[in-house]
Chain A
Amino acid sequence: MSKAPALELIDIHKTFTDVEVLKGISLKAYDGDVISILGSSGSGKSTFLRCINLLENPTKGEIIFNGESLKLASSGRDLAAADMKQLTKMRQQIGFVFQSFNLWPHMTVLQNVMEGPAHVLKRPKQEVMDYAEHLLNKVGIADKKHMYPNQLSGGQQQRVAIARTLAMDPQVILFDEPTSALDPELVGEVLGVMRKLAEEGRTMLIVTHEMSFAKEVSSEVVFLHKGVVEEKGTPDKVFNSPDSERCRAFLSSTY
């Protein structure tokens, strides 16, 4: 069976001033895949994730989404989008959840969730509102919909951010350490929502430090070290019998 991957990254490189953070990373995500990306600080995992939708411009590499290669042109030392329309279109279909939530503080929770579908996708208001309320219900904050982000706890804000991402009906969702900015007692509620999404069969790429979560929900685990893929495979393989010495050391120190 030869099915095209939903998202394919080929040989992604990234150099900051004179540090090569990513040294050629390739990855394929098929529909329904849940891929966890692990690694110590500075391994380049967040940078890699941010290169996928060009929040960070890669120095070299290719990004293929739904069989369509993102057009890149060199801009200084890096590659930038050659076709802004294509990039915005692609971004509309790839969700991104930030470590620091990044909700828009001047909008209520409901407005945050409605913003994308209502003003970017220009779907009818009523339909968008019903869907937004449904999503807020799903992440368990329906009762807070008229509050402003700063009135919520970190865990609640992150759940709103996830609802905001889901509202766009993305084909792939990227999570950039979604629980790293949370107090320990709030981590569970966010992971709970993400677990639900994984069970629904959503395609997700997750950069995380939550080892037991990664082991439990992932279909594939990638371990990055110093900008290269050091170990890759099923959770069982990576967690229980990794080939790489470094991966073993990392797991034994954190898990």
Chain B
Amino acid sequence: MDFSVVVEYFPRLLEGAWVSVQLVALSVVLGALVALPIALARISQNWWIKGFPYAYIFFFRGTPLLVQIFLVYYGASQFDVVRESILWPILREPYWCAIIAFTLNTSAYTAEIFRGAIQAIPEGEVEACKVVGMTKAQMYRRVLLPRAFGIVLPAYGNEIILMLKGSALASTITILDLTGMARTIIARTYTPIEIFLAAGGIYLVISMVIIAIFRQVEKRQNRYLGTVSIKVPDKG
């Protein structure tokens, strides 16, 4: 074992880590934006409205992320329409293909997390909105979404960490993220154990930072919960 290679190539590993962080950050933010309308549509009672989100979530949760990446990266270029479209300069970049695949994937999971959170809000709080005469839009804006935000945090932090680990798959389409960079270095130095240990260590540090951030936000967001006591009154 020769850990001097780790020292020597550490700056390159950090470069890769920065790409990984970008991939995760961008796709998580875009994914959340996509997820919100999908979650809201998924809650609907109407099959015409919830049909599409249902199929969307079913597909992206039910197939491997790697397959989704390959579908976007290798699949999209099969179509002339895509190659001739103004989006081609973006779609031929592996970086953006990864972001698109990650965004679609994480949005499906995030939509389910949002839906779970909204449906976890006690029915009584929803009724309290109804009896003051709120419209649906007011109800979501003033009560349901802010409440769901607090409920969603633990599960959502978890999803971001899963996404970070999933982002290693970006290396399969030539992206030099942390994993891709590690493999490139190993191809040159033949020191897989040292470099993969170092890469693993960096992933751990990033995960810990994400966990710490979420713990802080959660503490702030849920300060109002205090000591939670659940009372189950008799129904008359």
**B89 close to chain A: CB less than 8 A:** no
The residues of B with any CB-CB pair to A shorter than 8 Å are 122, 124-125, 127-128, 130-135, 138, 142-143, 146-147, 150, 223-229, 231, 233-236
**A88 close to chain B: CB less than 8 A:** yes
Q: How far is the CA of A46 from the CA of B236 in the complex (A)?
A: 6
In the complex, which residues of chain A have a beta carbon less than 8 angstroms from the beta carbon of B226? 148, 150-151
Chain A nearest CB: distance from B186 CB in Å? Answer: 50
Q: How far is the CA of A108 from the CA of B226 in the complex (A)?
A: 12
Q: How far is the CA of A98 from the CA of B126 in the complex (A)?
A: 12
Partner of A120, one of B124, B133, B146, B224: B133
A168 in contact with B132 given A150-B224, A150-B226 (CB within 8 Å): yes
Taking a contact as CB atoms under 8 Å apart, the answer to whether B231 and A88 are in contact is no
Taking a contact as CB atoms under 8 Å apart, the answer to whether A181 and B231 are in contact is yes
**A8 close to chain B: CB less than 8 A:** no
In the complex, which residues of chain B have a beta carbon less than 8 angstroms from the beta carbon of A213? none
20 contacts between A and B (CB under 8 A): A41-B235, A45-B236, A53-B130, A88-B134, A91-B132, A94-B131, A95-B131, A98-B124, A100-B233, A101-B124, A103-B128, A104-B128, A104-B143, A105-B225, A116-B132, A148-B225, A150-B226, A164-B132, A177-B236, A209-B236
Chain B's closest residue to A151 (CB) is B226
Inter-chain pairs besides A96-B131, A105-B225, A180-B234, 9 sampled, C-beta below 8 Å: A41-B234, A55-B131, A91-B130, A91-B131, A98-B124, A100-B231, A102-B122, A106-B143, A148-B224
Interface centre among A98, A102, A148 (most CB of B within 10 A): A102
Q: How far is the CA of A105 from the CA of B223 in the complex (A)?
A: 10
A119 in contact with B231 given A96-B131, A102-B127, A102-B128 (CB within 8 Å): no
A102 in contact with B125 given A180-B234, A207-B236 (CB within 8 Å): yes
In the complex, which residues of chain A have a beta carbon less than 8 angstroms from the beta carbon of B130? 53, 55, 91
The residues of A with any CB-CB pair to B shorter than 8 Å are 41-42, 45-46, 53, 55, 84, 88-96, 98-108, 115-116, 119-120, 148-151, 154, 164, 168, 177, 180-181, 207, 209
Taking a contact as CB atoms under 8 Å apart, the answer to whether B133 and A89 are in contact is yes
Taking a contact as CB atoms under 8 Å apart, the answer to whether B233 and A181 are in contact is yes
In the complex, which residues of chain A have a beta carbon less than 8 angstroms from the beta carbon of B224? 105-108, 148-150
A180 in contact with B143 given A92-B133, A120-B133 (CB within 8 Å): no
Taking a contact as CB atoms under 8 Å apart, the answer to whether B132 and A106 are in contact is no
Partner of A150, one of B134, B138, B147, B227: B227
In the complex, which residues of chain B have a beta carbon less than 8 angstroms from the beta carbon of A91? 130-133
Q: How far is the CA of A104 from the CA of B227 in the complex (A)?
A: 15
Chain A nearest CB: distance from B39 CB in Å? Answer: 19
In the complex, which residues of chain B have a beta carbon less than 8 angstroms from the beta carbon of A96? 127, 131
Taking a contact as CB atoms under 8 Å apart, the answer to whether A115 and B142 are in contact is yes
Q: How far is the CA of A177 from the CA of B235 in the complex (A)?
A: 9
Chain A's closest residue to B135 (CB) is A88
Taking a contact as CB atoms under 8 Å apart, the answer to whether B125 and A104 are in contact is yes
Chain B nearest CB: distance from A49 CB in Å? Answer: 10
Chain B nearest CB: distance from A99 CB in Å? Answer: 6
Chain B's closest residue to A115 (CB) is B142
In the complex, which residues of chain B have a beta carbon less than 8 angstroms from the beta carbon of A207? 236
In the complex, which residues of chain B have a beta carbon less than 8 angstroms from the beta carbon of A53? 130-131
Taking a contact as CB atoms under 8 Å apart, the answer to whether B236 and A41 are in contact is yes
